[in-house]
Amino acid sequence: MSETKVRVASLSKSFGALKVLKDVSLEVNAGEVVVILGPSGSGKTTLLRSLNLLEKPDAGTLEICGHEVVIPKNGRFDRAARAQIARLRQKTAMVFQSFNLFPHMTALQNVIEGLVSVKKVSREAAVERGTRLLAQVGLADKADAYPAKLSGGQKQRVAIARGLAMEPEVIFFDEPTSALDPELRDEVLTVMRELARSGMTMLVVTHELRFAQEAADRIVFMENGSVVKNCGTEEFFSDTSGERIQQFLRRF
Q: What rounded mean pLDDT belongs to the chain?
A: 93
Separation CA 190–CA 211 (nearest Å) = 9
Looking only at the bridges linking them, the beta strands covering 33-37 and 201-205 are parallel
4-44 pLDDT tens trace? 999 999 999 999 999 999 999 999 999 999 999 999 999 99
Amino acid at 218: R
Mean pLDDT calculated for residue range 89-99: 92
Separation CA 102–CA 127 (nearest Å) = 17
**What is the end-to-end Cα distance of the chain in Å, rounded?**
36
214-251 pLDDT tens trace? 999 999 999 999 999 999 999 999 876 777 888 888 87
- 219 close to 209: Cβ distance less than 8 angstroms: no
| pLDDT of 135 higher than 70 | yes
